[in-house]
Structure 1
């Protein structure tokens, strides 16, 4: 596929005229251009199909890295090594120059993450080919780099896609990266950083308890008198949380990095003037702490919040009795789940706009896709072209999953008699009751919701618990690529995450129509399903209406995650990482909401219902 901005301007104009019907002779002019290009011996065609073998070796290597091209790179490396006299010189000069250009283009918004990952893949292959020569030269330790960073997903957390993207981007910017993987204890992170003389430590996490683990790393570093800058990121982190919770644990730099793209500039700022960088970051965080304190609105007393609970008319409520009470394993294939993929969540993983998801609605028509591209504003076309290519490669990957591991997905739902008792839901299981303590909103409003409001306090009612995983089959494919192809590893991981969510959406649909059966005649399209425009909800642990990640242990007790091949870490993360679990509630007025801030009186009450101390609760619900 030729990148949009590499099509010669006159040819591009002619194509757009034909696609958008801008002039009556557009088709004839396009045919003339096509015939001209077919017969042309030189010019635009040769520019697009660049012959790298005819270029000077260093220039060819630099261009191939920027393009992410791997085919035919070995003989060019051999030429370059012959010219420079050593393998390490090839790395330090043409290869690093090429990767520096990639980093610059990415930072300037002229290259996008999928292209960067492909460039890193080409660099990795080049270094692998040179490695035996480097070892013979015994110069490996003399290689220069922009700095060394140790990165890790903290203890108890198995999510690594964001961390892996950081590793790719950092290598593209000339940094030496030591990736410690997932579930790494604080002591190991610190010991490795000290032993390797790291210039930076990067911490990542997705689940709420990971925030406390990051604080733990910072505290231990302070106790050991270290001054290595800490960079934190991941879905659970934020600039405010970093300023309010993590930074006060460490006397030196703790910087929040919202994504991989901003990390090189932050690290360069620190390297160029550490004292000034620390002063600026700390001043900014002090301002954020002050703004946070001022923004905290008074909360209602817990008893008042409970008086404002949602009160359904339970006497008029006709409890839907499940068609199948107890555990039901539901077969969902990858092919079936694909239909429910939320592409709006896929593209942002690759730092592309969620709105590009509309591409997925253009089925099997190259002309329609080309017309869509031509209709984009000029300043979006390059990024839109990359989104098209990414979706094309994602669809090829999905086809492979359908072919090779179509039955990898595992899903189970357990529907049990249940009641609410105050702010708890009590599941009446065969082996005994399972109590799930819940939180309630305390913001000043007409209603202060808790999930328990949607479950009958007495009489007969039912609540479901479920677990879905993309499965070990997909995980093995990802693992196979992690050492050989960063792009494909990240592509399959991002698709695996989407498939798990898609399978959960499909499971919920089948529960509503068949397993529980309270909506047997439901007929909604995919778009309405993804907007949750149906009866019932499926809140997951760690999400706004069920923010305590430890709720997953009660869900696990009900579902028996091992039955679908899921394990849970002590911090409540599921493995495989592409897994989803939560509750299913059928009340027609049930809805999603955000608990938000809670007051000290509810923290005390909730900790008591959980049977833990308030200090222990802070791990799951940071103050």
Structure 2
């Protein structure tokens, strides 16, 4: 809100100032920022833009899915003092490292800030710094980026900055940021460890977990194949009921209870200030049609074989066990030794089981409207609506999963409140590729093909990014022992 106010004030004043007073040369420095190739997430990047531009920096915001060629072209065009690359996906971190190596080839040595949820300081200061001749800085948040830029430009003005050495003749917080972490390992020890690992035989545990009852109820699905649900099939009030308010209010909107504040005082604040905001946005979503929810879900015949789940062709009339896809899942190395395949009927039982899947999206309209709010400098609305979009996609996933549980005959076990649903107090579980129980994100390509998601313009590109941005997919298990578990 303060950034939005400051932006409005600056715009008001600029019309009353001499042109040479508001020229581009009067900026404190030039800062290029971009979300890397294959990544559409921009909330963090745009917050950096807001903070730096309102503090006197010329920010060249290139947008999302930017190739290294575009970033380099902007560097030369604007004579940048710093380049910042952002990304949320794990795959994006690999692109960042590759981009740094291309910067080397082009002779670029200016400081580079890397930021995003998938990054860690260790990865930035070690792996990425080793890949780049200049200095690489871990962008913890927008204010740390601002702090670094203030120090950088002060040092450059005093000739106390060198692109290769960093800050000269003084010790600062930023100096520690650009130094790689000493992990006390020599290349020789890494080589020896690698050799030892290569000599070990690879033994995969495929023995079914005894913690998963094999004699469980196997439901009959209402249909085989897929079903498409359009916005008119999805009651918006049902989605609002499935909203995770804690994730929205404290997570997305950052209205967290301050440490030491009495719970009653925080609840009063929510009632007086926050819930009215939520009510306004619910009305806007309905009246302005700001969401376009669509769902494809379905049921596929399957059988488990060790750690593998085989999906059969539901359309086949000749061969009921014609395999159309197989998913290999990891097994826990300790504890209950769980594996997703354990939750389905093993092949030796001779029973054809049911494998539900779903893909949901709230549509490209969410991304487009959020971008419009940001372009119009409506930063507060941008933050609120972006959070609504993220959590409504999650609510749609919860709603679809509940529909699947009911269709499989488990309606009597359904919770009657959202708290119990979020705590997984229902039959089975929902897993998404990329998480510990099913880490192979590439398996999502098979999933999208089986669900035929091109019908709702949902796809995953070569960077393993799912489109539209506010979309999720999941595989469903109905077994009562199926809950979230780590690898």
| TM-score of the alignment, normalized to the shorter chain, above 0.5 | yes
Normalised-by-shorter TM-score class: 0.7 to 0.9
Match of 2:345 in 1: 456
Deviation, structure 1 residue 580: 0.9
Q: Larger % of helix: which?
A: 1
Change (3 A) 1:521 1:423: closer
Change (3 A) 1:389 1:249: farther
Match of 2:79 in 1: 197
Aligned mates of 2:143, 2:217 — CA distance in 1: 53
Mapped pair 1:152 → 2:34: yes
Match of 1:256 in 2: 138
Change (3 A) 1:406 1:242: closer
Aligned mates of 1:324, 1:171 — CA distance in 2: 55
Secondary structure of the structure 1 residue equivalent to 2:145? helix
Change (3 A) 1:138 1:407: closer
Q: Do the aligned partners of 2:433 and 2:440 also contact (CA within 8 Å) in 1?
A: yes
Mapped pair 1:320 → 2:200: no
Mapped pair 1:499 → 2:392: yes
Change (3 A) 1:198 1:575: same
Q: Do the aligned partners of 1:309 and 1:447 also contact (CA within 8 Å) in 2?
A: no
Deviation, structure 1 residue 531: 1.5
Q: Deviations over 1:315-369 (max 9, x none)?
A: 523311212322123432332211222222222334443x58xxxxxxxxxxxxx
Mapped pair 1:413 → 2:306: no
In the alignment, which of 165, 176, 189 is matched to residue 280 of structure 1?
A: 176
Secondary structure of the structure 2 residue equivalent to 1:538? strand
Mapped pair 1:578 → 2:476: no
1:590-601 correspondence to structure 2 within 5 Å: 590-595=482-487
Q: Deviations over 1:231-272 (max 9, x none)?
A: 122222222332343232112222222322322223334443
Aligned mates of 1:402, 1:554 — CA distance in 2: 34
Deviation, structure 1 residue 429: 3.4
Deviation, structure 1 residue 166: 1.7
Aligned mates of 1:179, 1:195 — CA distance in 2: 13
Secondary structure of the structure 1 residue equivalent to 2:74? helix
How does the TM-score come out when normalised to structure 1?
0.65
Q: List runs of 5+ in structure 1 lacking aligned partners.
A: 1-117, 357-370, 596-623
Aligned mates of 1:546, 1:315 — CA distance in 2: 21
CA radius of gyration, larger in: 1
Change (3 A) 1:212 1:388: farther
Aligned mates of 2:184, 2:112 — CA distance in 1: 18
Aligned mates of 1:237, 1:121 — CA distance in 2: 28
Secondary structure of the structure 1 residue equivalent to 2:421? helix
**Greater shift after overlay, 469-478 or 218-227?**
469-478
1:173-188 correspondence to structure 2 within 5 Å: 173-188=55-70
Q: Larger % of strand: which?
A: 2
Q: Do the aligned partners of 2:360 and 2:473 also contact (CA within 8 Å) in 1?
A: yes
Match of 1:429 in 2: 313
Mapped pair 1:558 → 2:456: no
Deviation, structure 1 residue 496: 0.4
Aligned mates of 1:305, 1:545 — CA distance in 2: 16
Aligned mates of 1:253, 1:578 — CA distance in 2: 34
Match of 1:333 in 2: 235
Aligned mates of 1:153, 1:261 — CA distance in 2: 18
Q: Deviations over 1:185-243 (max 9, x none)?
A: 12211221232111222222122211111111111112222212121222222223323
Aligned mates of 1:155, 1:169 — CA distance in 2: 24
Change (3 A) 1:543 1:283: same
The count of residues paired between Structure 1 and Structure 2 equals 449
Q: Do the aligned partners of 2:208 and 2:306 also contact (CA within 8 Å) in 1?
A: no
Aligned mates of 2:43, 2:417 — CA distance in 1: 30
Deviation, structure 1 residue 503: 1.0
Deviation, structure 1 residue 590: 1.3
Secondary structure of the structure 2 residue equivalent to 1:286? coil
Aligned mates of 1:373, 1:388 — CA distance in 2: 14
How does the TM-score come out when normalised to structure 2?
0.81
Secondary structure of the structure 2 residue equivalent to 1:316? coil
Q: Deviations over 1:356-408 (max 9, x none)?
A: 8xxxxxxxxxxxxxx978735xxxx9xx9599635432331122102232772
Mapped pair 1:528 → 2:420: yes
Q: List runs of 5+ in structure 2 lacking aligned partners.
A: 316-321
In the alignment, which of 318, 336, 349 is matched to residue 252 of structure 2?
A: 349
Deviation, structure 1 residue 544: 2.7
Change (3 A) 1:198 1:338: same
Q: Do the aligned partners of 2:285 and 2:291 also contact (CA within 8 Å) in 1?
A: no
1:95-110 correspondence to structure 2 within 5 Å: none
Secondary structure of the structure 2 residue equivalent to 1:511? helix
CA RMSD of aligned residues (A): 3.3
Change (3 A) 1:238 1:156: same
Q: Deviations over 1:110-138 (max 9, x none)?
A: xxxxxxxx23323333454566677x836
Match of 2:373 in 1: 481
Q: Do the aligned partners of 1:157 and 1:569 also contact (CA within 8 Å) in 2?
A: no
